[in-house]
Each structure stands twice: as structure tokens, then as C-alpha cells.
Amino acid sequence: MNVLLINGSPNAHGCTFTALNEVAQVLQSSDIEIEIIHIGHKDIRGCIGCRKCKQTGQCVFNDIVNDVAPKFEKADGIIIGSPVYFASANGTLVSFIDRLFYSVPWDKTMKVGASVISARRGGASATFDELNKYFTISCMPVAASQYWNSVHGNSPEEVKSDLEGMQIMRTLGRNMAFLIKSIALGQATYGLPEKEP
């Protein structure tokens, strides 16, 4: 079992990474393989609605989106991490997930999703809502924690000092591992839910 963690921050080892890494450690201790992919520093253009992906099975722009797509297909879950810019996710990350979720031809049903937000102060809940919509439109259960999945601070050190935020990340890791394992057991017994055409 494995989970992809997408670091949407331009800073490879900044506040967003600090939060994702806290979740990743718990997942690994629960026998879930993890891979953190840093995309926030890439030049990623937005979707142009050309629909070529519906013919070819991949995005017409051959960049990191197409590199990550097969990893996403094999993964049991995905965590999308974003810093907060103007009370929303950063543009590079949004371009990435718009194209990733739209271009893949396979069914994402019952892959577990979660978002992790890093904010200095405000905008965390708006960004959390924004990212979770990618999961709920894709029949993906959303892993929950004891509070909304955000950490607060202006540096990795300040994030580590956000004791409640760090606890939220660890709880998310445990809950996500449990949900992934439970879905695997349920799928083996009952299969996936029937879909209407």
C-alpha cells in the first residue's frame, strides 16, 4: 500500500513539507509506503480544455503531470499539500491538480484523498475546502483528522512549534492508514460500489 504526497510549495523543505513529513512518518510506521513529490518549483501551465487527453490518455503538455499520473494510478491514496496564498492554494499547484485529475483516463473511486495546508495565519480553511473538492468530485473518500488539516507558522521551526497542528498531522496519518487498509478489506470482500452510467 502506498500514498503519494504532493508538495505544492515552491520551497522544497519549507512549512508545507514540514507538515507533509509529519504525516509521512506516521504512514510509514503504519506500513504504508510513501513518496513525496515536490512540484511547487516547476513551470506548470494550466489546462487549456483541448480534450486531447480523452483521446490519448494523458495530458497534451508532457511534463511532470504525465510523470506523476501513473504513480497516482498505483497509489492507494494521495495527500495534496499547499501553502496559502491570498486565501487559496498556490497557482502552480492548482494548475498541476487541474490537469492531473482531468487528464487521467482511469477511475479514482475509493482512492483516499487528503489535503494539508500551511498558513502563516489566515486562509487555511478556504484552501482546505478548495483542495478537498478534487477528491469529492472523483468518488474519493477524504481522510479526516481531529481538526482541519492545517499548520501555522512562517518557518519550519514555527510550524514544528505549532503543537496542535503537528498532532493534527499525526492523527491524519493514522486515520488515513486505517481508511486505506479498511477500504482494501472491504473491496476484497464486496468489490467497489456500483456506478450508474
CATH assignment of the domain containing 57: 3.40.50.360
Residue 195: inside a domain, yes or no? no
Angle formed by the axes of helices 15-29 and 163-190, nearest 10°: 50
pLDDT tens, residue by residue, 113-140: 999 999 999 999 999 999 999 999 999 9
- Please state the domain count of the chain: 1
pLDDT tens, residue by residue, 152-184: 999 999 999 999 999 999 999 999 999 999 999
Average pLDDT over residues 10-23: 98
Identify the bridge partners of residue 168 per DSSP, sorted by sequence position. none
Residue 163: inside a domain, yes or no? yes
CB-based contact 58:103 (threshold 8 Å): yes
Taking the C-alpha atoms of residue 99 and residue 97, their distance in angstroms, rounded to an integer, is 5
Return the pLDDT at 118.
Answer: 98
Return the pLDDT at 93.
Answer: 98
Question: pLDDT > 70: what percent of the chain?
Answer: 100
Average pLDDT over residues 11-32: 98
Residue 197: inside a domain, yes or no? no
Return the pLDDT at 91.
Answer: 96
Residues 6+ away with beta carbon under 8 Å from 144: 172, 175
Average pLDDT over residues 61-66: 97
Residue 21: inside a domain, yes or no? yes
Taking the C-alpha atoms of residue 192 and residue 23, their distance in angstroms, rounded to an integer, is 27
pLDDT tens, residue by residue, 79-95: 999 999 999 999 999 99
Task: Give the domain range for residue 158.
Answer: 2-190
Taking the C-alpha atoms of residue 49 and residue 65, their distance in angstroms, rounded to an integer, is 15
Return the pLDDT at 142.
Answer: 98
Return the pLDDT at 19.
Answer: 98
CA 143 to chain centre: 10
